[in-house]
Chain A
Amino acid sequence: MNEKILLTGNEAIARGVWEAGGHLVVAYPGTPSTEITENAAKYLELSAQWAPNEKVALETGIGCSIAGKRVLVAMKHVGLNVAADPLFTAAYTGVNGGLVIVSADDPGIHSSQNEQDNRHYGRAAKVPVLEPSDSKEAKNFTKLAFVLSEQFDVPVILRLTTRVAHSQSLVELSPREELPLKDYVKDAGKYVMVPAHAKKRHVILENKLLELAKFSDQNKELNHILWQNRKMGIVASGAVYQYVREALPDVSVLKIGMSFPLPEKLIKEFAAGVEKLFVVEELEPFMENAIKAMGIEVVGSEMFPRVGEIFTEDIRAKLGDAAARPILPTMGIPVRPPVLCPGCPHRAVFYVLHKLKLNVSGDIGCYTLGFMPPLSAIDTTICMGASISVAHGMEVAQGREMAAKTVAVIGDSTFIHSGITSLINTVYNGGSSTILILDNSITAMTGHQHNPATGFDAKGNPAPKLSLAALVRACGVNRVQIVDAFDLKKLQAALKEELAVCEPSVIIVERACALIDKSSRQPVLVANQEKCNGCGLCLALGCPCLIKRSDGKVEVDAAQCVGCGLCAALCQRGALEKTGDE
């Protein structure tokens, strides 16, 4: 028997690509999908690339596939919105080397801006959707997805949820299969999607779907029935399947590994073999509606809500006979929300924005935490890249007066992802926004991935470093300032200056993320209790190291402090002093 090890779902997928003789993993980071690419980067035989956004990642994947190699493209659920354009047409063209697209969904919104159910993309774009329920399946389904993709000439979506991506379970390892490079064949009818070709390819795709539906009925690795007590039958996929097995180990289960197209015959056989049919699924009634459309009576979303995750105890409570163990409310325990880290350069920026009482059109990244009290300095956060365009829309609605007290705030990675086009739009359409690019030299939120502006690639090798200032100027912005995040005076002056002018301007706020640049650590501070008068000025920074004592004075948590000195710069009485310790 081969070696068995514990892997997360994401590690297992990277391993699956390697075993399947894959060539490339390309992605834009996004929780809970990021570690797929990080782990793929560790395999010598695999290429791994961070693309600037998901659309570019998928298009690179399409090219790699057309040119004859197996490729996996990874993204979080909202990333597929960005990549939806190439997805829908890649379904028409089909593939050469296998093309697998991971959509890592986030039911329960652990770290996302919504909880959309991307199985809908499979049906909408007419590509098959596989749903692994643990790491073993994550690896096996990845390999199977490549085979399916090549056999049916179609991209395949591998849909994960946070619990599958981030849970570890046992995986049996196999060796790598070495595949020859397939020929690059010019075939305009297949790959040039002009109307005349696309009309034909659509017919071909519809036929493939019929074949895929047959496959779904026949493939026992993906879809199979576990016949047990027949009083009740449950249809389930993904992590929820495991919860069903845990809560109701004796009932009959139809395990779905391919949720589009569904195995209609198998579902009918199952429905006929049990007294009452249920479907347990998180988020959308995706399987439920399809089963109802087959004319089968089934109970699902009326019992389980469409919002958030479903857990073992919920299934036990609704369908089990054992008394459910309720979660007892915990009263009066203060919450522990995430915060900007000690020494974080973003804190300085939001302190100034708050102080100047500006309207702030925000974006997505660590800096989104600037919305939290006491900084309370972000008014809107929609999706990546939206800060600049939303600020422009505000200016269009309310006029120049609004632009004079509004800024857009966007991180380096997010600016490159989709802020550039928004900036070009503002310049082109005569806007006068003031835009802050918070350049902390890394994609921090998702755990420190490189991007085109950091000077390194996904494998950690040196790469050409994009100059944000040159890029911004090339977009037509004439007013560009570069400021150190911790130079509060200069930052404030730059803001006032740029808000006052009636043309678009960009302030690039530079300072490396405090978690990567430990070299800049300074001696820890202490609060001199004789000098501190409890004025609370420093507390406006929202630094987790500054603790308000019951007498109103401030104390510094030396275990957390990294000595960034922001608080000392604010204190009028010199009460925050350096110690000798780092």
Chain B
Amino acid sequence: MSKTTNILIVGVGGQGTILASRVLAGVLLAEKYDVKVSEIHGMSQRGGSVVTQVRYGDFVASPIIEPQTADIVLAFELLEALRSLPFLAEDGKLIVNTQAILPMPVVTGEAQYPTDALSQLEKQASLVLATDALQMALACGNPKGVNIVLLGILSALMDIKEETWLLVLRDKVPPRFLGVNLAAFAEGRKWGLNKK
């Protein structure tokens, strides 16, 4: 039996992490893996931290990722990337969008947003792919395409045919947004393949 692979997706409520996890799960399903996904809703919808866990392999029991076992962390936001570090495996890979979204305690001046977040990440993770995904999405004409750009990068690190990704994207993305999203995916994938 092959080992279960763990992908942790972290971000902030409203960033589109849920769609990203649905596409990823769809791709894994299309590839005939056993898949389990756990997402916590509720209070997190109101601008709180959002965590989605995706696990796949021949057979998966628990939908929950243990500390220090995430093979890939896909972080939509810098601070959330830092928060996720305890879950990253020693040889795990971290994809991080360098956008900073300030939490309330920082907004009100009670706490400081770490200025060295990226260098902390680089010190602690074995491989960090960091990019401003918002700029990449804007370049494709879609400020809401951050999640799809990041999925494109993720696809570059996974051993799954590009075709499958495109097939699932066509299935899960509303038709009127498909064009810009396919462009966003291609942009992310190209960037990821170059960096890997």
Contact = CB atoms under 8 A, between A and B. Distances in A.
A313 B25 CA distance: 24
Interface string B32-50: 0011111111111111110
Given A6-B29, A167-B37, A341-B47, A334 B63 contact: no
Contacts of A544: 47, 102, 104, 107
B82 interface: yes
B46 to A, nearest CB: 4
Contact of A334 (B34, B41, B42, B113): B113
A333 B114 contact: yes
Interface string B110-143: 1111100000000000000000000000000000
Contacts of A243: 61-62, 64
A134 B45 CA distance: 24
Contacts of A326: 67
A312 B29 contact: no
B193 interface: no
B47 A339 contact: yes
B108 A332 contact: no
B103 A336 contact: yes
Given A328-B67, A337-B103, A544-B104, A170 B35 contact: yes
B108 A373 contact: yes
Contacts of A325: 66-69
A127 B83 CA distance: 43
B106 interface: yes
A335 B63 CA distance: 25
A6 B45 CA distance: 22
Contacts of B60: 169
Contacts of A339: 46-48, 104
Contacts of A332: 114
A433 to B, nearest CB: 28
B175 interface: no
Contacts of A316: 66
Contacts of B106: 334
Contacts of A366: 46
Interface in A299-354: 311-313, 316, 325-330, 332-341
A6 B106 CA distance: 38
B80 to A, nearest CB: 8
A451 B131 CA distance: 44
A64 B69 CA distance: 48
Nearest to B67: A327
Given A32-B42, A330-B85, A334-B105, A134 B79 contact: no
Contact of B47 (A246, A329, A338, A546): A338
Contacts of B35: 6, 168-170
Given A335-B105, A338-B45, A341-B47, A168 B64 contact: no
Contacts of B112: 334
B192 to A, nearest CB: 25
User: In the complex, which of the residues A163, A245, A335, A341 has the most CB atoms of chain B within 10 Å of its own CB atom?
Assistant: A335
B41 A32 contact: yes
B174 interface: no
Nearest to B36: A169
Interface in B52-89: 60-64, 66-69, 79-80, 82-83, 85-86
B64 A163 contact: yes
Contacts of B38: 163, 166-168
A168 B83 contact: no
A162 B37 CA distance: 13
A59 interface: no
Contact of B103 (A5, A6, A335, A539): A335
Contacts, number: 146
Given A6-B35, A167-B63, A542 B86 contact: no
A242 B61 contact: yes
B12 interface: yes
B16 interface: no
Contacts of B12: 336
A110 B104 contact: no
Contacts of A447: 41, 45
A249 B109 CA distance: 48
A332 B116 CA distance: 12
A334 B79 contact: yes
A219 interface: no
Contacts of B44: 111, 338
Contacts of B85: 328, 330
A547 B110 CA distance: 11
B88 to A, nearest CB: 10
Residue from B29, B35, B45, B109 with most neighbouring chain A CB atoms (10 Å): B45
A110 B45 CA distance: 12
Nearest to B35: A6
Given A166-B40, A542-B108, A330 B86 contact: yes
A372 interface: yes
B82 A312 contact: no
Contacts of A312: 62, 64, 66
A6 B82 contact: no
Contacts of B113: 334
A6 B37 CA distance: 9
Interface in A137-164: 162-163
Nearest to B124: A328
B59 to A, nearest CB: 9
A134 B113 CA distance: 38
A31 interface: yes
Nearest to B34: A170
Interface in B131-178: none
A435 interface: no
Contacts of B41: 31-32, 111, 166, 447
25 contacts: A6-B35, A110-B43, A111-B43, A134-B36, A166-B39, A167-B37, A167-B39, A169-B35, A169-B60, A242-B63, A243-B64, A313-B66, A316-B66, A330-B86, A333-B82, A334-B79, A334-B111, A334-B112, A336-B47, A336-B48, A336-B80, A337-B48, A338-B13, A374-B108, A546-B107
Interface of B: 12-13, 25-26, 29, 34-49, 60-64, 66-69, 79-80, 82-83, 85-86, 102-114
Question: Considering the complex of A and B, which 4 residue pairs feature the smallest CB-CB distances, nearest first?
Answer: A111-B42, A338-B46, A334-B111, A336-B103
Interface of A: 5-6, 31-32, 110-111, 134, 162-163, 166-170, 239, 242-243, 245-246, 249, 311-313, 316, 325-330, 332-341, 366, 369, 372-374, 447, 539, 542, 544, 546-548, 557
Given A325-B67, A335-B111, 14 more contacts: A110-B43, A168-B63, A169-B36, A245-B62, A246-B62, A312-B62, A312-B66, A328-B67, A334-B111, A334-B112, A336-B12, A336-B80, A336-B104, A542-B104
